[in-house]
Amino acid sequence: ATISNSISNSNSNYNHNQHQHQNSATANVNSCLRALQTWAPAGIVEGLELIATGSGIPAIKSYAIRCLRAAAPRRIVFFLPQLVQSLRNDHDGQMQRFLSDAALANDLFAHQLIWALATEEKPPMEAFDPEVKRSGWKPPQDGGLWGVSGSLKSSVLGLLNSKSRRFWEAEENYFNRVTEISGILKKFDKEERKAKIAEVLKTFGPERMDLYLPTNPDLKVVRHIPSSGTPMQSAAKVPILVAFEVREEEEGGNENGNGSGNGNGNGNGNGNEEARKKDVMAKMSGRSDTSSSASTSNTINNNNNNN
């Protein structure tokens, strides 16, 4: 907090000092910015707070990125939706380089990043002329992320080595086959759909033992349960619920068969830290809440069946 306040106060002086103090304030700020090059990186939240302020000063942004680089990619995943949102102001490309480097260092981070970018890139053509248009429907509008999200996603995919690429393709293809069932069901009457879901689900399974639920990488997919497939009500699409049998694997890679888990991540239950995280996420997303959509299609209910 002290680091964040010091830099923020200096930045405020830099932008708002009265004219008669401008030279002195500028000298102080420049001295502070030079000192940043020698400071040890702070924590993730401090780095995110500096990015969220939108200072626009490259030295401050560089220090903030250095704070993120000092953390393990898996710890950054929680903030990916907000980091992707920050790309609209990433004119110097520092955030893009950080995200690319983190993706190359960790396959699970790469997967989550690709999914996050896919939600923000330009939608497919059918999104501009859907079969069913609800009241008040308007075509999608670019909020400043279509171009950078699409190009960064392509770049990350192109940088993956052959082993990482095979892992990504197996994960993506498996869940694509599940979500594509919704499109198949459109051709069938409502009373036929549940049986059709089970029929299609029986035709395939996970190709590898390390595939996981995109909403929780610690839950490795053993199989999906064909009899669980259930069509849901929707005017435009046919969303479905599908349950998965999973095995739980802790962050370190050790399997944990008892289904227990630590809800606060580190066991400390630090309420102040969690509150700061939520505040940073709200600032970076420009919203008053911190909710975000899951990485998987919202047509799937990832029920965790450990039996």
**C-alpha–C-alpha distance, residues 3 and 41, integer Å:** 10
15 — pLDDT class (breaks 50, 70, 90): low
- 246: tokens are 């999973």
Residue 160 corresponds to which amino acid? L
- Overall CATH class of domain 23-125+142-160: mainly alpha
- Does residue 35 have a pLDDT over 70? yes
- Does residue 218 have a pLDDT over 60? yes
Task: Give the closest residue to 148 by CA, choosing from 189, 195, 94.
Answer: 94
* Per-residue pLDDT at 55: 62
Residue 32 corresponds to which amino acid? C
275 — pLDDT class (breaks 50, 70, 90): low
Per DSSP bridges, beta strands 230-231 and 212-213 are unpaired
162 — pLDDT class (breaks 50, 70, 90): very high
- Which H or E run contains 230? strand 230-231
Contacts with 256 (C-beta within 8 Å, 6 or more apart), sequence order? 248, 249, 250
Domain boundaries, the chain: 23-125+142-160, 180-249
Strands (DSSP E) found in 117-157:
none
* Per-residue pLDDT at 239: 93
